[in-house]
Amino acid sequence: MAASQPTWEASMSADPEQACPIAPVVDIVFSRWTTPILWALHQYGRQRFVELERRLTTITPKVLTQRLRQLERDGLVARTYHPEVPPRVEYEITELGASLAPLFAHLAEWAATNLDAVEQSRHTYDTAQQSRPR
Amino acid sequence: MAASQPTWEASMSADPEQACPIAPVVDIVFSRWTTPILWALHQYGRQRFVELERRLTTITPKVLTQRLRQLERDGLVARTYHPEVPPRVEYEITELGASLAPLFAHLAEWAATNLDAVEQSRHTYDTAQQSRPR
DNA sequence: CAGAATCCTATAGGATACTG
DNA sequence: CAGTATCCTATAGGATTCTG
């Protein structure tokens, strides 16, 4: 049994992103386009590929497909194929995906409270660039 | 006054990522390497560049510098330069950065509860790939 | 030590055209 | 409609070398 367990040293040195306990979930939930997609599905309910495409105006079908596949694989989104002519495919958020709602609300709350401070900091940083000790 | 306000249509069609209320904060908090860096600073306190570099074993100095600058600009991390020979620079998390702790805890909690389900879904998806209606 | 500078490559993602 | 296929480019990030 013990032999199959990675040592502390190995588990720490292997992948530093794993040393950060939230790193795995960040890849799942916060990779590019995932939050706008999940948001759209959560906000407007089950909808077709083309509806999503129109809502996320700047996304290309290729990328939308990639992201939806990933979300489907991770169990956050469900895909339903209707074999009609023309074909109809609907996407909806799963229960697992919907379980992220409180987390997103928490994030929105942090943003509401602290986004101004971030903007302020950026402005200060940017305008102080001249004559700055590095 | 009304002329300077963007119309609803313009504000919706301009940037779909802005239509998702949490998109801006995702860029700030969850871009590459930021969570491991913030975690290391929060966990082990103020530390030097080389300590961070060693802790995040696979990061290169170039990228670490980039990310630290970004975090400094956003006000999440503070940089202190000691003009000595050899030079000494220390990084620490700011109050604003530390205010993310409850959010990260929430994320860790979601992971603890639901990561298994994601893994399960991935396994099911991957093993069902043969003979699958697309 | 704490980076900056330079060069290089891999890959994400865009544009376009095509299909069941 | 819901993608797939192909081609292409831009940029993030790695490797290496150099310096105050």
User: Taking CA atoms, what residue in A is nearest to B115?
Assistant: A25
Q: Is any atom of strand D within 7 angstroms of residue B66's beta carbon?
A: yes
pLDDT band with cut points at 50, 70 and 90 for residue B16:
low
**Chain A: nearest CA to B109, how far in angstroms?**
9
Q: Is A115 part of the contact surface with chain B (CB cutoff 8 Å)?
A: yes
Q: What is the mean pLDDT of residues B98-104?
A: 97
Q: What is the mean pLDDT of residues B67-73?
A: 98
Most B-contacting residue of A41, A74, A107 (CB-CB within 10 A), to test interface = A107
For residue B19, the model assigns a pLDDT of: 77
In the predicted model, is pLDDT for residue A9 greater than 80?
A: no
pLDDT band with cut points at 50, 70 and 90 for residue B46:
very high
| Distance, C-alpha B117 to centroid of its chain | 23
CA of A116 vs C1' of C20, distance in Å? 51
φ, ψ of residue B81 to 5 degrees: the values are -100, 125
CB within 7 A of strand C (chain B, 32-71): 48-51, 61-62, 65, 68-69
Does the pTM of the predicted model rise above 0.75?
A: yes
Calculate the alpha carbon distances from B32 to A15, A58, B72 in Å: 14, 22, 15
Rounded mean pLDDT of chain A? Answer: 88
CB contact under 8 A, B58 and A15: yes
**Chain B: nearest CA to A115, how far in angstroms?**
8
Integer Cα distance of A115 and A107 in angstroms: 11
Cβ partners under 8 Å of residue A68, min gap 6: A37, A49, A52, A77, A79, A91
Of A22, A114, A133, the CB nearest to B111: A22
For residue B3, the model assigns a pLDDT of: 39
Residue of A74, A42, A70, A66 whose CA lies nearest to A55: A42
**Residues shown for chain A:** 134
In the predicted model, is pLDDT for residue B129 greater than 80?
A: no
8 Å CB contact between B35 and A20: yes
User: Taking CA atoms, what residue in B is nearest to A79?
Assistant: B134
Alpha-carbon torsion angle B93, B96, B101, B104, nearest 10: -100
Who has greater pLDDT, A6 or A76? A76
Q: Which residue is nearest to nucleotide C13 (CA to C1')?
A: A63
Cβ partners under 8 Å of residue B111, min gap 6: A21, A22, A24, A25
Q: Which of B44-48, B55-59, B96-100 has the lowest mean pLDDT?
A: B55-59
For residue B131, the model assigns a pLDDT of: 55
8 Å CB contact between A37 and A31: no
Q: Is any atom of strand D within 7 angstroms of residue A48's beta carbon?
A: yes
For residue A14, the model assigns a pLDDT of: 59
For residue B77, the model assigns a pLDDT of: 98
Task: Protein contacts on strand D: list nucleotides below 7 Å from a Cβ.
Answer: 1-6, 12-17, 20
